[in-house]
Amino acid sequence: MYLDNLGLINWANLPNQHFHFDRINMINGESGTGKTTLLDAIQTLMTAAKKGLYQYNAGQDEVSQSSRKRKGRSLASYVLGCDEERYARVNPCSGYIIGNFSPSPEDQGTGPFCAVIGISAELEVTGKQRDARERNMQTLVITGSHLDIQDLMVETESGQKVAASVSNLERHLKFTQPALFKQAYFPRGKDDYLCKLYGTLHGKGAVSSLDATTSAKQLSRFMAYKSLDDVNAFVRDTILEPEDMSSAIREIAQLMRNVDAMHQEAKQIQAGVQLLEQAETHGHKALKLIINEQCASYEQFTRAIHSTQREANDLGVRIRHAEENAKQSEDKAEAVKGIRGKKQEEAGLLRIKLESIPVMAQKKAIEDNIKRLSEELNQSGAEVLHQEQQRQGQIANLENWKQCLSQQEEAVGVLIPDQSTLIEWSQRLEQTCQALTNPEIQVQSWAREGSIPDDAMSLLTPISDLTSELKDAVANTIEEWREKKYTQKQLRKEADDAVESLEKEIDQLERNQLRYPQDTKAALHLLQDQLPDAKTRVLCEFIEVTDPDWQMAIESIVGNQRFSLIVEPDYEEAAVSLIEKFKLSRAIIIQGHRALTQGKGLVDRSIVHLMRIDDPIAQAYISAAYGNVEQIFHFTDLKRAVRGLMANGRSAGSFTYRVSRLTEGDLVFGAAARQRALEAKKRQLPRLHAELKKTSEIERGIDRWVACSNEVVRVALAAAIETMRQQQSSLAREQRVLEQLDITDHTELQKALDELVEAIKGLEDEEKRLIRLASGLVKEAETLTSAQKEKQKEVIKFERLQGLHQGILAGLVHRGAAIELEQLFDQVDDNLEQETILFSNNDSYQGNLVNSIQGLTSKVMEFNRAGINSLQIASASLEPAAPKPHEESVVLTQFAAIKTVADKVEQSLERLRDHVLAAHQQQLAALSEQFNKIFVSNLCHGVYNKVGEGADKLKSYNRKLSQHIFGREHYKFAFEFIPEYRDYYDFFKEVVELNQKSMDEHTLSLFAEETGGSLSEEGQRIFDDLKDKLLGKDGEPVETAIEHLKHLTDYRNYRSYDILKVLPDNHEISLKTNASGSGGQSESPGYVIRAAGLSSALKVEDSASALRMVLIDESFAKMDGPRSREVIQYLSDTLGFQVIFVVPTIKMGTYVTLVNRQFEVIKTIAPHRRGELDTLVTVSDKNLNASTIHGLVGKDQQRIKAHYDNMELMSLLAEFDGEGAHVNEG
């Protein structure tokens, strides 16, 4: 099929007329007249201006130096007649392109038809910006007839003919051309139009969208000139069709990010599961410890009841035996008492007889005195020994006191700061000590010998005097010393508290915990317990100072606000109410809502720029409160600053200066700061230890001094010795008188009395023995009874404790403990007689319980901070303490708190592990499977197949090109893999083959994190590299990675290409390496190859009817005349194409002998202004007789040749005769 004629209405500045074409058609004109406009109309008709299928020639005006910023041509600009940004038609209008096709001599069974494209456009003005806008497009195909431009014109009321409205085209034809309307087909879009157009060209109803698109694209490509300077690029970009995988690549990139995000979420969830499993372990351990301790206590007290009751019963038996024996002894004693009474009566009668004798009465009086004096002497001896002990004690006390004076001078200096007073005390102690330690004082020796030397009093009297003086001196100062002792004790306690506090702070910092002010800590626990959804946290935990040199200064200016509490804005009022209710007045809550909504901007050098803040409310608060504090580097700038801060801690604000009082140990902003604080506190600890040691030593010294002073007593040894010496003298005198009495006449009577007395004494002893025995047995019975009562009390106590722990166990069961109480009690009762116990008390119970609670709290807090799946577990009610097992309310409260947290942990764990993680893993598996499917099907299969199809297409071209003989030669494509792309091709091939193998088993996995991966090591490396690029893990932007993947998925990049010229002897010459480019040598193959491609796309050889037309837009610029003529002749004569080409007027002479019809485009000044234009474009067309023109050209060539031959002959003759010759030509 040939294009018989082209009708244009309102197309650029071309006249509204039909342009009739022949076999070979030439369009010529000067630069900028609009030659290519005519070709663009045909291109629009054949491509429907579908994106990607056409490309308008930029035109002289658009590419000139002065027009670089001008917009390129568009359908709308053509319809409005745009020329150098001025418009021939400024009002909305419609334009039409009418293509009337007729069969070529080669076509069979196909009649004429018409294709129409109508476009409506208008000029859109926005400020100074003017743009031509396309409003509507209508396409039309009429079979069996042609259409005239007059068929699409309507007459206005003024009699002027204008184009029919595109929107009313269907109705217009229906009423004006009903016969044509019946043969008309109005496509539903550009694709439908192209399918219908090329189907009609093939003599069919329609062709596939792919065939239509390929035909249109090849036709447009042939028109657009591309140099063959780069053979590889020519084959790659012109011959091989690009495959757009952008949407698949972006879908893959998005899926990759989604899969990776889900992998990261899965890791986070798995980490949360691990934290909850650890928390669950700690919680179960804590609960088990409590339950076991209560079971052990219950068993312990049950066993105690059993054993104590048995002991009480044994005591009852022993009591009965003791009471029986006591009764027997009492009866025997009573009998002895009767006998002794009779003997005493006899002795009484004998005494009466003896007392009636004077000498015997005197003897009795003297014996009574001796007895009395002996008793007094014993008492005075005991007093002497007591005073001697006092003396020895004072010697030891004074020695200790003197050592205190010499060894603990600092402590003594605190008590007695005055040096003269201290000397007095030293002398007083020394004198007293010398008196006490006089070696001549030998009290023990005197007592053994029974005699006291005469000078004893002179040795002992100074002791009494000096010890009395010392005691009085102590009494005068002891209260002052006691006050100083108390003061020193307080100093030591303060030092001890400081050390203990610092050690706790160090321990907390080593466990990555901060020490908050008391009210802040209490408020934090309160809000976390009472308002868990408020997500209460402390400001300092979310701030880090990025420059260590500014750390102390920034924390100093923030001050105690560092420990402010953050709650979610919706809970601020409730949080403040709780703080007020519990009187935690020093706790601070941040106005998060105000900070988020009313926060101000930062000054240029704000100190906030030196902070990294991980919480949005903390960020807003710090920005609002300290965003206007400038970083100041010189004090002169600080003078002028509204609010400023220097790195050395000096600051200014509110017309005042301040200096930092913060120490390094107080730093809390960030892990690095807390490490600095930890190191500072560790450096401070030895100094505090030294201070504690010093104050402790002083305290011990003062205690020693005061203790020595309290031990001072008056030693009255002289008085005691004197009393004893007087008593010894009186006793000796009485004994001498007794010895001088004569009682020989009354010896018998005295002997009888003595014998009676001896007998009475024996009976008394026996009676006493029996009474003692009875008394002992009674006491034993009483003791045993008391012991039995104590045992019974113990039984009662143990029963109470047993009941207590039984109640606690019942309370634990009520609070969720998994205990079968009746079974437990039966087991304990059945095991009472056995030595092996069922439950043992844990010696480390309290420590282990505290550790378990701390572990539970730590893991829960860590889990809460992670914010996994918005799950939060309140644990503020847990106190890391271990109450005594018998503290029922505390134990039950603690157990309930732990059980609540443990149950919440278990529920959260079950939800996270069995539901969230499982669902997440299912989603991840589904997403991974979706990714695998898309990656394999859309990308790997696509690239792998396209690489193969590319080779097949070039081989198919080679078969066709072998039939296209240009002169005596033909052309073929050569191609080979590029090594760097071979790895990617092998990777895609491996994935495709793995997918084929695993289609039934669904085992293909590209993600090594899931199953270890199915790829080879090299394949996995390439996939991981692609994955890292798509995720931006290699540092490049994701868009760069997508572009890289687009490059990899373009199958045309996998090979290098060459065109070989095949001579008749089959010798092959590479155009890539051997083409000289002379005369356009490398351009001829391009036309031959593109013509073969166009012929294939248009199915010229495969269909009885096909479009046989090529458009060439000034494409012979690099070819000499003979070669360009050969190309035109090849296209027309060899391939049978209708040729429509554009050349500048200056080059038209080369082609006039070939052309059947010539169109000359001329731009002139218009007699009347057309819209905004003052130019007019006209087109003159003429038929050319090629044979006549060829004859005229031949005659001109003979004449010119003869002229130059004559000039050469004259030059030779002049050379022979030495004379010049001058030839004049008319």
Residues of the chain with CATH 3.40.50.300: 2-228+1082-1184
Q: State pLDDT tens for residues 1166-1202.
A: 888 889 999 999 999 999 887 777 777 667 667 766 6
- Residue 921's contacts (CB-CB under 8 Å, 6 or more residues apart) are 266
- The pLDDT assigned to 863 comes to 83
Q: What phi and psi, each to the nearest 5 degrees, are found at residue 185?
A: -125, 120
Most confident of 681-695, 749-763, 855-869: 681-695
Higher pLDDT, 418 or 1089: 418
Closest CA to 523 of 600, 581, 483, 477: 581
Of 144-148, 221-225, 392-396, 1216-1220, the poorest mean pLDDT is in: 1216-1220
Averaged pLDDT for residues 85-110? 90
- The pLDDT assigned to 896 comes to 86
- The pLDDT assigned to 1219 comes to 41
- The pLDDT assigned to 550 comes to 92
Query: What is the rounded distance in angstroms from the CA atom of residue 394 to the CA atom of residue 714?
Result: 9
Whether 519 shows a pLDDT value over 70: the answer reads yes
Of the pLDDT bands very low, low, confident and very high (cuts 50, 70, 90), residue 1033 is low
What is the three-class DSSP state of 18?
Answer: strand
- The pLDDT assigned to 88 comes to 93
Query: What is the rounded distance in angstroms from the CA atom of residue 524 to the CA atom of residue 564?
Result: 10
- The pLDDT assigned to 3 comes to 95
Tell me: domain 283-372+745-818, CATH 1.10.287, correct? yes
Of 310-314, 452-456, 1068-1072, the poorest mean pLDDT is in: 452-456
- The pLDDT assigned to 876 comes to 64
Closest CA to 288 of 853, 1085, 1111: 853
Structure tokens at 830: 């059945």
Q: CA-CA distances (angstroms) from residue 483 to 432, 486, 488, 668, 985?
A: 26, 5, 9, 41, 95
Q: State pLDDT tens for residues 809-856.
A: 888 888 888 888 888 888 888 888 888 888 887 778 888 888 888 888
- The pLDDT assigned to 1082 comes to 61
pTM (global) more than 0.85? no
Of 524-528, 647-651, 891-895, the poorest mean pLDDT is in: 891-895
Averaged pLDDT for residues 1003-1029? 68
Q: State the DSSP string of 771-810.
A: HHHHHHHHHHHHHHHHHHHHHHHHHHHHHHHHHHHHHHHH
Of the pLDDT bands very low, low, confident and very high (cuts 50, 70, 90), residue 359 is low
- The pLDDT assigned to 956 comes to 84
Whether 21 shows a pLDDT value over 80: the answer reads yes
- The pLDDT assigned to 192 comes to 94
Whether 618 shows a pLDDT value over 60: the answer reads yes
Closest CA to 297 of 887, 802, 845: 802
User: Are 702 and 490 contacting, i.e. CB atoms less than 8 angstroms apart?
Assistant: no
User: Are 6 and 44 contacting, i.e. CB atoms less than 8 angstroms apart?
Assistant: no
Q: State the DSSP string of 536-605.
A: -EEGGGGEEES-GGGHHHHHHHHGGGGG-EE--GGGHHHHHHHHHHTT-TT--B--HHHHHHHPPPPPTT
- The pLDDT assigned to 1218 comes to 47
- The pLDDT assigned to 339 comes to 86
Structure tokens at 1161: 């485009």
Residues of the chain with CATH 1.10.287: 283-372+745-818
Of the pLDDT bands very low, low, confident and very high (cuts 50, 70, 90), residue 1013 is low
User: Are 825 and 906 contacting, i.e. CB atoms less than 8 angstroms apart?
Assistant: no
Torsion of CA 814, 819, 822, 827, to 10 degrees: -150
User: Are 1085 and 1074 contacting, i.e. CB atoms less than 8 angstroms apart?
Assistant: no
Of the pLDDT bands very low, low, confident and very high (cuts 50, 70, 90), residue 1080 is low
Most confident of 281-290, 893-902, 1157-1166: 1157-1166
Averaged pLDDT for residues 427-445? 83
Averaged pLDDT for residues 317-327? 88
Average per-residue pLDDT for the chain: 83
Averaged pLDDT for residues 953-978? 84
Of the pLDDT bands very low, low, confident and very high (cuts 50, 70, 90), residue 634 is very high
Sign, Cα dihedral of 924, 926, 929, 934: negative
Of the pLDDT bands very low, low, confident and very high (cuts 50, 70, 90), residue 1220 is very low
Higher pLDDT, 103 or 738: 103
Query: What is the rounded distance in angstroms from the CA atom of residue 654 to the CA atom of residue 1018?
Result: 68
Of 178-187, 677-686, 727-736, the poorest mean pLDDT is in: 727-736
Of the pLDDT bands very low, low, confident and very high (cuts 50, 70, 90), residue 884 is confident
Higher pLDDT, 581 or 1071: 581
Query: What is the rounded distance in angstroms from the CA atom of residue 869 to the CA atom of residue 1175?
Result: 72
Whether 930 shows a pLDDT value over 80: the answer reads no
Helix (H) or strand (E) holding 575: helix 572-581
Of 860-864, 975-979, 1160-1164, the poorest mean pLDDT is in: 860-864
**Torsion-angle region of residue 388: left (phi > 0), alpha (psi -120 to 50) or beta?**
alpha
Percent of the chain with pLDDT strictly greater than 70: 91
- The residue assigned the tokens 């080059």 is 1147
Whether 430 shows a pLDDT value over 90: the answer reads no
Whether 102 shows a pLDDT value over 90: the answer reads yes
Torsion of CA 908, 911, 916, 922, to 10 degrees: 150
Most confident of 21-25, 234-238, 451-455: 21-25
* Long-range contacts, 674-683 (Cβ 8 Å, 24+): 674/509, 674/512, 674/514, 676/548, 676/551, 677/509, 678/506, 678/509, 678/510, 681/502, 681/505, 681/506, 681/509, 682/506
Query: What is the rounded distance in angstroms from the CA atom of residue 16 to the CA atom of residue 8?
Result: 5
Averaged pLDDT for residues 612-635? 92
Whether 63 shows a pLDDT value over 70: the answer reads no
Helix (H) or strand (E) holding 648: none
Query: What is the rounded distance in angstroms from the CA atom of residue 862 to the CA atom of residue 879?
Result: 17
What is the three-class DSSP state of 962?
Answer: coil
- The pLDDT assigned to 1079 comes to 44
Averaged pLDDT for residues 184-194? 93
Query: What is the rounded distance in angstroms from the CA atom of residue 846 to the CA atom of residue 854?
Result: 12
Of 701-705, 741-745, 824-828, the poorest mean pLDDT is in: 741-745
- The pLDDT assigned to 62 comes to 40
What is the three-class DSSP state of 820?
Answer: coil
Question: For the structural domain made of 2-228+1082-1184, what CATH number should be given?
Answer: 3.40.50.300
What is the three-class DSSP state of 620?
Answer: helix
* Pair type for strands 630-632 and 643-646: parallel
- The pLDDT assigned to 717 comes to 79
